[in-house]
Structure 1
Amino acid sequence: MSRPTDATRRNPATGERYAPHLEPRYREIATFLRAPLVERLDALDIALVGIPFDGGVSNRPGARLGPREMRNQSSLMRSIHHVTRQDPFAQASIADIGDVRFSSIYDLERVSDDIAAHYRALHQAGVIPLSAGGDHSVTYPILRGLAADAPVGLIHIDAHTDTWDAFQGSKFHHGGPFRLACEAGLIDPKRTVQIGIRGAQNTAQGWDYSDASGMRVVFMEEVEALGIEAVIAEARRIVGDGPVYLSFDIDSVDPAFAPGTGTPEVGGLTSLQALQLVRGFRGLPLVGADVVEVAPPFDPTGNTALLGATLMYELLCLLAERCAAQAEPK
């Protein structure tokens, strides 16, 4: 069982306890997956966190609005998984703790420091973060907060390797978080797999860096040739049994299903493949996860944010199951 929690709120009129995620979906404040909104960490197993920042994009902004719209769309989520029959809210203490706050939104290095400090506090409190970006530059400081003591493995699902060097004079951009993380010793490149990579580039620098450092790059053509189950098996082989972080860039999904992103690349995963891929990592010792690059201005239908929220639910199931397994008596 999870730790005791004060995250379950009380009805102010009756004093009775009630869970927001079981209320009618049009009620309550829009939080991630209808979890309670709390400020304290001492009762939590898993914290749902927003990072409304897109100052690291190289072209089209909009991902700063991703957390808010994913909160809105996650009001459509329910609790019990249709395949696993798992209820993450029954397995762990879960709450939305709001957004990371920034001391200087126009200073990229200070933004990185703010995010790192936020996640360092979560890590020290023993709370596992599930985050919604924001652009992909935010994953580097997340890892700074979670992996300062020892490198972790990485499952990175994306259209791009995000291992490029400095862009326009800055290293804090959404095309370089995993190069920075590798150089800082935050991830083990031999325990890193990048899935769904595709799209033409003006330089091979990112692909070459991933390859030279020892990362396993699974281009989309190989995903199609192998099939999702074989890709899952390969990824699990690479990351092994050690701690691992999972980062999901929504542009790994074909823009036919997820047009609301800053750098769309045709020929990607279907929505179903994306869900199956994430679900295939049950049982791994995840230290955290994120869904990034949802840019609502490029998708007036809201479907991209809905997919992002659904992926957050799938990831929450993985994290909650892990918490429950750790809490069981040996």
Structure 2
Amino acid sequence: MYKPKDSSKTPRYTGVRTFMRLENIRTVENVDIAVIGNPFDTAVSNRTGQRGGPQHIRDFSILLRPYNPAQDINIFDYCSSVDYGDFDIIPQNIHASYEVVEEELSHVLANDITPIILGGDHSITLGHLRAFAKKYGPIALVLFDSHSDTWDNYFGEKYMHGTPFRRAVEEGLIDVDHSIMIGLRGPLYGPEDVTNPEDLGFKTIPMRKVHNLGQEEVLRQIHERVGEAAAFISFDVDFVDPAYAPGTGTPEVGGPTSFEALEYIRGLHGLNIKGYDLVEVLPAYDSGDITAALASSVAYEMMTLTAMKKRDGK
């Protein structure tokens, strides 16, 4: 059983920085959860530096402890977990990076491990979805994001952080009938940007509607939409209002608080979740590490959901 070092017995500032002080072991033996970095960031349209996101999250995560009082569970009573390290991506070569990620992630999934992948810009999710679709077939996507990332191209390029979910639909990777996007907001180029995701088959709940419906109803609609389908959760940190997460590439005001974001993840308990990614953390624009604090807590809640699923025998 792999679990974190006990910070009541060994100081947090000792040792190599891994997520939550887990063992840094690139293994699929006796592992339930693998935290993996994907530091690719050369498909962005604005600020760059998301390559530092995985390590920034790891650095702050040393404050996390094994017992989650919000969910009343000790993660490591149920799950053996490792920090798997980073995918060996190729800077500036998105297609070669996709191949590396798909191959390595397919190896992890073949061993029924739940990956929690730390990005990196949002273009990386296409590689993740290719591996998940190879294992599970078209998968339900639950996206927390201020942007739908369903443009056809950006700067004439088909593979950018604003295009992954259009490409994923075109490749047949997503079960759109059971997929949903939450939190969309911000200025756009035209009304077609609003309708793009729905034209592709996604259900959307824009942020203004999120506020009007309330969290309980939004979570009900997520569960209703996904149902029993195998699901992948993608969390862009710009889903959260930049007052709580300034360290990101394309911030949009008017989003949820950090508490509300955590409650959304907690409220996914009961879904048939096969894996997660958390993207667009940009250390250079973080302030007082508050984005790292939020992101590490989101990943922690993702781990908790996996432990709860195993506890419940699902």
Shorter chain as denominator, the TM-score bin is: over 0.9
The runs of 5 or more residues in structure 2 that have no matched partner are none
CA contact (8 A) 2:145 2:238 kept: yes
Q: How does 1:48-127 map to 2 (within 5 A)?
A: 48-102=35-89, 104-127=90-113
TM-score of the superposition, structure 2-length normalised?
A: 0.95
Which deviations, in whole Å up to 9, do the C-alpha atoms of 1:96-149 show, x marking residues without a partner? 0100002x3221211111111121111112211001100111111001011125
Q: Which one of 294, 300, 310 corresponds to residue 313 of structure 1?
A: 300
Q: Is the 8 A contact 1:164 1:205 kept in 2?
A: no
Superposed CA offset, 1:3-43 (max 9, x none): xx3x35xxxxxxxxxx4154432232211122111121121
Distance 1:298 1:280 in 2: 29
Q: Which amino acid aligns with 1:20?
A: K
**Residue of structure 1 equivalent to 2:250:** 263
Secondary structure at the counterpart of residue 183 of structure 2 = strand
Rounded Cα–Cα distance in structure 2 between residues aligned with 1:60 and 1:204:
25
TM-fit CA distance, 1:205 = 4.0
Residue identity in the other structure for 2:121: D
Provide the C-alpha distance between the structure 2 equivalents of 1:122 and 1:289, rounded to a whole number of angstroms.
13
What is the distance in 1 between the residues matched to 2:149 and 2:187? Answer: 14
Encode CA deviations 1:63-100: one digit per residue, 9 max, x unaligned.
11100110000011111112222111111111001000
Contact 1:249 1:293 in 2 (8 A): yes
Q: Find the aligned partners of 2:34 and 2:123 in 1 and give their Cα distance.
A: 20
- Is residue 146 from structure 1 mapped to residue 129 from structure 2 by the alignment? no
Q: Secondary structure at the match of 1:129?
A: strand
Whole-Å Cα distance in 2 between the matches of residues 240 and 324 of structure 1? Answer: 20
Question: 1:317 & 1:217 partners in 2: Cα distance?
Answer: 26
Aligned with 2:262 (options 275, 290, 296): 275
2:26 corresponds in structure 1 to 39
Percent identical across equivalent pairs? Answer: 37
Q: Match of 1:145, as an amino acid?
A: A
**DSSP 3-state at the match of 1:47:** strand
Aligned residue identity for 2:172 = G
TM-score, normalised via structure 1 length: 0.91
Which residue number corresponds to residue 5 of structure 2? Answer: 20
* Aligned positions, number: 311
For the Cα contact (< 8 Å) 2:142–2:179, is it kept in 1?
yes
Superposed, which structure 2 residues align to 1:196-275 within 5 Å?
A: 196-275=183-262
State the SS of the aligned residue for 1:141: helix
Change in CA separation of 1:242 and 1:21 when aligned onto 2, cut-off 3 Å = farther
Aligned to 1:292: 279
Separation in 2, partners of 1:106, 1:215 = 30
2-structure distance, mates of 1:64, 1:21? 29
User: Does the Cα contact within 8 Å between 2:246 and 2:287 map onto a contact in 1?
Assistant: no
